[in-house]
Amino acid sequence: MKKLTLAVATLAGLAACASVPLDTSALDRASSAVDRANDAGSVEYAPLELRAAREKLAEARIAAEERNGDLANRLAAESLVSAELALAKSDAARARERTRAQRESNQQLRQELQTDSGREQ
């Protein structure tokens, strides 16, 4: 009976200590988002957003170490959206590159075709 009372008291104390509880899954989600952005070439296509995502993730981890749940959660969420933005911008940039490459390829094909038809006549 005494033991149970002590445990409840400890939990209550912990809860009181951290005004907002730490969401560790938010840190994980931000971390994997940063990894995805990195894999998508954000170092090249969205370096500012990627750096922001990394810095905020690092700060979030520090805040989590310091048991500042509220700050850690906010920084994790900000890191997540920054990483997602980096990923989206990288995706868009790569799509743009592929489009440009295709446009050039088409142009070349058209020229070859015209040369062919010119040779034919």
Partner 1 sequence: MTRIAAICAVLLLTACASAPRQDLGLEKIRADLQALQDNEQIRRHAGAELQAAEAAVRRLQAPVQGSNKDDQRQHLAFLAQRRIDIVRARANEGQEREQLAQLERERDRILLQASLQEAERARAEAERLRLENVARAEEAERALRDAREAREYSEQVEKEADLAREEAEKARRLAQTQAREADLARQEAELASATADSLRRQLENLQAQETSRGLMFTLGDVLFEYGESRLKQESLQNLDRLVGFLEQYPDNTISIEGHTDSRGSEQFNLDLSQARADSVRRELINRGLPAARLQAVGLGEEFPVASNDNDPGRQQNRRVEIIILNDSQQ
The reply on whether position 103 binds partner 1 by CB under 8 A is yes
Name all contacts of 74-77 with Cβ < 8 Å and 24+ positions apart: 76/23, 76/26, 76/27, 76/29, 76/30, 77/26, 77/30
The reply on whether position 6 binds partner 1 by CB under 8 A is no
Residue from 76, 92, 115, 118 touching partner 1 (CB under 8 A): that is 92
Instruction: Please list, residue by residue across 33-46, b when 16 or more beta carbons sit within 10 angstroms of its beta carbon and e when fewer do.
Output: bbeebbebbbeebb
Which residues from 14-73 bind partner 1, rule CB under 8 A? 19
Can you list the positions of beta strands (E) in the chain?
none
Nearest distance in Å: CB 6, partner 1: 30
Measure the CA–CA gap between 65 and 46, rounded to whole angstroms: 29
Q: Which part of the chain contacts partner 1 (CB under 8 A), choosing from 2-10, 25-33, 60-68, 80-88?
A: 80-88
- Residues forming contacts to partner 1 in the complex (CB under 8 A) are 19, 74, 77-78, 81-82, 84-85, 88-89, 91-92, 95-96, 98-99, 102-103, 105-106, 109-110, 112-113, 116-117, 120
